[in-house]
Structure formats: C-alpha cells, structure tokens
Amino acid sequence: MGELAPTKTFCPTSRKRGIGSFFKFVACVVITACLSPALFLGALCHQYFTAVLPPGIDQPLKVRCYHTFFTAVIALGVILETLGLYSIVGLLRIATVGLPTLWDFALRTQNLRFDDVRVRVYQPKKPAAQKRKGLLYFHGGAGTYGSIDAYERMLRHLAKETDSVVVAVGYNLGPESPYPSQYTECFKATVHFMKNAEDFGVDPSRIIISGDSCGANFATRTCQLLAERTDLPKVHAQVLIYPALQGVDFYLPSYQQNSRVPIMWREFVAYFACIYLRKDTSIAPDILESRHVPEDLKRKYSKWVSGDLIPDEFKIRGYKPQDPALYKFKPQVYEQIKEFLEETFSPMLVEDAVIRKLPQTYIVICEFDVVRDDGLLYKKRLEDNGVPVTLCHNKGGIHGVVGLFGYGIFSLPSAELIVRDTTKFIKSL
C-alpha cells in the first residue's frame, strides 16, 4: 500500500436509514465485486516486494497470504471511504468477525450486560468441587475492530481447559464511541463482575484480568485503577498477550526490526491509533518520529521507555537509536495528540507507587511483533517494583496471531503455543 491515505472521516459507516443507505450498500457490493480481484493481486505484489519475513517466522507462506488479505481489505476500505460509501474500520470489522462455531454442550453461554456493558459469560456445566476462578478477557483490534465472536474458539477453550468462568467484554468500538469509553466500559464490567462473582460460582479472590494487543492495554490500565481500590477484592493476576502499552517511543528495537513484518507494520500502529482517537491521520509520520513528545517529558519517560533498557539478546537483528536530527518537537502535534501521553492510553507511564501494588503478571511477547518491546519494558518495570512476572517469549509469532486459534489448518503453530502456555499458567493459579 505504500503510504496510508490521510483521512478526516471519523464515522465508520453511515447509520442513516432509507433509500440512500440502500443505494450505498448496493454501490459498496458492486465496487467490491469489481475491484476485489485486482486489489488482491495488487496487494500480493505489494507485500511481496515490501513485506519482510525474517528467518524463523512461523509459516511464512501462510503469513504472506494473511498479510495480502489484510492489505487488500485496507486498500478497498480507503477507496470506499474516499467515495463516502464505507470505511476502513467498518470493512475490517466484517473481515475479522470470524467463522460461526457449533454449539458447545460443555458450556453454558450467556449474553448479558454488566452495568450496561455487553458481555458474554462462559461457564463450564460440570459440577465444581470449589468456587471457580474468574477470567475477564478484553479482545484486541486497535480499539476500532475485533469482537467477542472473533475470539469465540479461544474463549471456549480457556473456560473448559482452565475450569474457569470466562467473561468476554464487548466494549463499544471507536471512533463512534469516543476514547476513553473503551477503558471505561472494561473497567465498569470488571467492577460489576467482582462485586457479583459469587452469583456465577466464582471466588472473588481468584479473578484474573486479561486481554491481547489493545485489549491487553485495557487490562493493564484496569488493573492499575483497581490497585487503588480498597472496597474490592485484590485482582489475583493479570495476563497480557502482546500488549501495546506506550505512545512515546516508536524507535525501540522491535519497531525497527519488525517495521515491515506482517501483519502490524510500524506505520499501522500510529495510523490506527489516530483513527481510534478521532484524529487526522496526516500527523501519523510526526508521531512515529516522536515529534509529539515535549523534550522534558521525553527525558522523564526515558527511564521507563528506552531501547537502552531492552536486553541485548533482543537487539541481535540490529538496532540504532533515533537520529537526533529526526527529533524536532512540534507543539501543534502535541496539542492534537496529547492523549498519547496520558496514563490511560499509555499505562507504561504510571508512577512506581501504582506499579508496586499490581498482582502477579503473565506477559506474552512475539519475536516478530512491533510492540514486542512494550512487553519487555513493562516486565522490567514490574520486576523492579517487586511484582512477580512470568514471560512467555514466542520466537516464531507475529502480532494478532491468537485470533487464528482453533481454525485448524488456517491457524498457526505459534497461536496454539501461546494459548497452550497461557492456559497452563491460568491453571496453575
């Protein structure tokens, strides 16, 4: 795709009813049918010459196919959005919804609302000898796409294999639901569950908060907020799968090494973050050069977010600190994107007084993931403050891989390994 097209369109899809919406729908179908073959071939050629698949990556041919599909969907979304017919994130939601699953007779599944937040609760039907663990799960998708349905196979697996009650939170997506409503909804659903855990046969002292990608970000911030609460039980553990935790430094080793590794390119991180925050995506290049970070804050945060803090074993594929000539603070960019430096958006930036109150933590990182080093830096922060941490380093994995869990030949071995090891950790609690 090359450079991503700037956009100022914040509403993913028109909600207006009537004949106008019908014609828009028909136009979308016709354009998609006509352009899809060409876009797929174009995306295939583009990713073949621009995507980088380092030695050791999990099933490179299959990864190329998934990246081609992802790129083609975004390209089609750019066209439809330019025509005012649909949006990039709207199309991604359709593309990532997942395939339907058969009924699972081993589980009781309920779609409920916790404090007006949509959740899906998975409860094993077999009798339990004691009150079960409770697992809250926040799905990934840059805060703009993804769904409970997309993670159905993994959620069912976790409920059955760990003998836990799993609560998947269906927070409303941005940009229609403005930031920080996603955090607010995850937090509200969590507090409701903690207060009513016994109604679901759950021990309130054995509640685990988890998520992947941006969902791991929500889980991190939720745990930080709960650490200050004295009216609720303490969170038993947090499980963070390839968490994205900071918007300060996009020159960390993993951002350089994996900048063009499918599926989440370095440019995509800033681009989707702007869409999520309802900002003009034309400022994404400035964000990647840290021009949104004032010099005093850049110095302050360097004690927590810096390539110098990454273990040498993760710099083998090459790392060069940001060229000072590329850094030039732009106050106007900072004013537009202040949210990047808020503790809600960047939970890596909370003070040590909060960090040291956090529960035992399990962190999954993938070698070929741009946000890999966020997990490594947070691990260091936790350990420096006396919090027990277990790190799972998936050496062949890429970002977003757990969304493929349970799809047989369409899955990747790294997805199965991550879910297997995560299951083992949860069972041990």
How many other CB atoms sit within 10 Å of the CB of residue 351? 9
Q: State yes or no: is 399 an active-site residue.
A: yes
Are 364 and 241 spatial neighbours (Cβ–Cβ below 8 Å)?
Answer: yes
The three-point CA angle 317-53-417 to 5° equals 90
Q: Give the 3-state secondary structure of residue 211.
A: strand
Here the tokens at position 126 are 């077999």
Report how far Cα 427 is from the mean position of its chain's Cα atoms. Answer: 23
Q: State yes or no: is 205 an active-site residue.
A: no
Q: From 72, 73, 241, 62, select the one nearest 151 (Cα to Cα).
A: 241
| Ordered DSSP codes for 141-189 | STTTS--TGGGHHHHHHHHHHTTEEEEEE-PPPTTTS-TTHHHHHHHHH
Here the tokens at position 321 are 């600190």
Q: Give the 3-state secondary structure of residue 401.
A: helix
Are 29 and 22 spatial neighbours (Cβ–Cβ below 8 Å)?
Answer: no
Are 366 and 375 spatial neighbours (Cβ–Cβ below 8 Å)?
Answer: no
Q: Positive or negative CA dihedral for 24, 29, 34, 39?
A: positive
Q: State yes or no: is 369 an active-site residue.
A: yes
Of the candidates 290, 346, 399, 414, the residue annotated as catalytic is 399
Q: From 337, 203, 227, 347, select the one nearest 275 (Cα to Cα).
A: 337
Of the candidates 212, 249, 286, 369, the residue annotated as catalytic is 369
Of the candidates 164, 210, 213, 411, the residue annotated as catalytic is 213
Enumerate the active-site residues.
Answer: 213, 369, 399
